[in-house]
Every structure is written in C-alpha cells, then in structure tokens.
Amino acid sequence: MANLYRPTIIRYVDADGRQVTKGTPGARHKRMKSKTWWGKYRGADGKPKCVSLDEDRETAETMLAGFIQDVRDEKAGIPKPQKRYKAHGERLLVCPVCNSTGTFREAGKAQECECDGEHLTGFRQHLSAKGNVSDHVKLTISRIRTVFDKCKFEQIGDLSAGRVSSFLAELRKSNLSIASSNAYLVAVKSFGNWLMKDRRNADVQR
C-alpha cells in the first residue's frame, strides 16, 4: 500500500520567529508541516520504504508512481531502473532530422520521419494521444524545442532548471511577457513530468 504525505517537522525559532539552532538561548520549538511531499511504499523485499519527493503534489504523485512501478518491474524480472535510465539517457532529446515534428522535407516533398526513439517525439505522440488539438501540440513542442536549442540541451543529462530560468530571464529582458515566459516554463515542466511518469528519468532537475 502506497501513500503520499507531508511529515511534521520541528524547527527552533527565536522571539522574532526566525529559525535558529536548538541550543540558542530563548529558542522555542515549533511544529510545522514539511513543504516537501514524501512517499511511503513497500519495496520488492516487502519492507516499507520512505522517500522524499517534491513540493508540488502532482509531481510528487508522478515520482511515487515511478517508484511503485520499479518495484513491480523488479518482481517481474524486468531490468533494474539504472539500466533503463542509462539507455534512455543515451538517446537524443530531439530528432535531428525533423526536430521531432514528425515530418521533414526532402526534394521538395514532405516525408514522414521514423524517430520514435527521441524523447520529444515520444512526448509529442503522448500529447496527441491525449486528444490535444494539433495547434496546441505544435506550439508546445515548438516552445520546448526553442528552450532546448538555446540552452543546448541534447540529452536528458543536460537538462538543468537553472539554465532554463536564466534563458527565460534573458527573454523577459527582451520584452517577452510574463505570460509567455510562464507558457515556456509550463511546457518544459510538463515534458519533465512526462519523462518521470514514462520512467525515462528518475529525476529531472528543477
């Protein structure tokens, strides 16, 4: 049985409410809920396990589901997560032929691209399978591709939240609206969440 929870933690604060160490004169303890969600589940050996997840509940649920699936895989004799993540880590994020759009032009004609192995291609197919309209899928993929290109992300191991934030900050200096900046961020985060949910990556930096 698995469940998601935020543990109660104890912090020590002074008279002004500032966090201090336990031995600080006048310090008093204060009980509060952790900002980070934790998950509890049973491993393949039947023993309970507790793992720190994420401050965002939806992301935490996705991560916990990944741990549970890993346990099922281990029981079924499927290769361990490390091997699976290594294989995914060696794949390109974006198809170099069609930019993960699914088609490319050759000799003036549109051609279908067979690039199922690339991660952004898989995410595009995932969005389409969920029933998203074509324009939304194209715009989402375009935004993610722009971020990957400008941040020089080629493989999963290159992904970095700090570089994405810096890139978007530079765009805002160039008069990109806050709403547009957030749209880029939402697109990239949705891709990162999908990587975990599809068990292509154990952890994506935020």
**Tens-digit pLDDT profile for residues 58-101:** 888 888 888 888 888 888 887 665 666 666 777 899 999 999 99
What's the whole-model pTM score? 0.60
Identify which has the larger pLDDT, 138 or 8.
Answer: 138
Q: Quick one: which of 100, 102, 103 has its CA closest to 147? A: 100
Domains present along the chain, CATH in parentheses: 3-78 (no CATH), 88-197 (1.10.150.130)
Q: Tell me: the pLDDT tens digits for 103-118?
A: 888 878 888 888 877 8
